[in-house]
Amino acid sequence: MSSRNNLPLLAFATAALLGIAVALALLVAPEDVDQGVSQRIFYFHVPIALTAYLCFGLGAWKALRLLWVGGERRDLESYTWIHQGTIFGALTLITGSIWAKASWGVWWSWGSNQLVLFLVLFLFYCAYFMLRFSVDEGARRERICAVYALFGVALIPVSFFAIRLASDFIHPTVFTREGPQMTGTMFGTFLVCWAAITLLAYVMYRIELVGKRTDANLRELREALS
C-alpha cells in the first residue's frame, strides 16, 4: 500500500491549524475568572491527553486486526501509534505537572487522578518498548507486542477505577480544580486546539510510518542484494 500523496498537504494544514489554535488559546480566549492566566494551559494539556488515549486505542485496534486478520503492515502501524501515544503521554505528564505547579504550587499531586493514571500508563507503554527491543524480530514478536498492546487498552479503564477508588481512601489529599465554566469562545478554542493536536499526532504518525516502512524495505533490499 503506497502512502497517498496528501502528506505534505496534511502537514501544511496541521501547521496552519496549530498556529490558529495557539493564537486562540493565548490571545483570543477570555481569561478565566477563577484560575487566571494558568487556565490557558488547559487548552493544550487536555487535547494532548485525549490524543494520547486515542493513539493507544488505535495502537490496540491495529494490534487486534493483526491478530485477527494478519497482514504485514499492521505491526508497524500498531507500533507507531503506540509510539505517538507514549510521546503524547509524556507531554501530558509534563504539561500537567506544569499546570499543577501553576495552580497548586506543587509539581506533582497524587490527588490528581488523571496525572496518576498517565503515570501508570506511561510505565506500561515504556515497558512495551523494552519488550519489543528484547524479542528477536519476526512473527512472534509482532504477536507478543500486539497482545501487550491489547492489555494496555484494557488497563486504561481498570486503572482509572483503581485510582478513583484509591483516591477516595488511600490518598485523601485531593486538590480540586472545578471544570472551567466555559464560555462559547473558550469552548470553541478548546475544540480548535483539540482538532489541531489530533491532526498533529496523525501527521507525526504518517511521517514516522513512512520512515519505518522505508527502513524495513531497505533491509529487505539489502538482504536480496548481498
Which residues form the interface with another protein (CB under 8 A)? Answer: 22, 26, 36-38, 40-41, 44-45, 48, 67, 87, 90-91, 94-95, 98-99, 101-102, 120-121, 123-124, 126-127, 130-131, 134-136, 139-141, 143-144, 146-148, 150-151, 154-155, 158-159, 161-163, 165-166, 168-170, 200, 204, 207-208, 211, 214-215, 218, 221-222, 225-226
Site of grid cell 475568572: 33
Closer Cβ to another protein, 87 or 191, answer by number = 87
We find the least distance from the C-beta atom of residue 183 to another protein, in angstroms, to be 19
We find the least distance from the C-beta atom of residue 188 to another protein, in angstroms, to be 19
Closer Cβ to another protein, 4 or 222, answer by number = 222
| CB distance 102 to 111 below 8 Å | no
Closer Cβ to another protein, 28 or 140, answer by number = 140
| CB distance 24 to 16 below 8 Å | no
Closer Cβ to another protein, 35 or 188, answer by number = 35
Closer Cβ to another protein, 45 or 74, answer by number = 45
- CA 140-146-148 angle, to 5 degrees, is 105
We find the least distance from the C-beta atom of residue 44 to another protein, in angstroms, to be 6
We find the least distance from the C-beta atom of residue 162 to another protein, in angstroms, to be 4
We find the least distance from the C-beta atom of residue 109 to another protein, in angstroms, to be 15
Q: What CA–CA distance (Å, rounded) separates 206 from 81? A: 9
Instruction: Return the C-alpha cell found at 112.
Output: 490528581
* Cβ contacts of 197-200, under 8 Å, gap ≥ 24: 197/18, 197/21, 197/44, 197/47, 197/48, 197/50, 197/51, 197/88, 198/47, 198/50, 198/51, 198/54, 199/10, 199/13, 199/14, 199/17, 200/14, 200/18, 200/51
Closer Cβ to another protein, 48 or 58, answer by number = 48
φ, ψ for residue 184, nearest 5 deg = -60, -45
We find the least distance from the C-beta atom of residue 24 to another protein, in angstroms, to be 13
Instruction: Return the C-alpha cell found at 174.
Output: 485531593
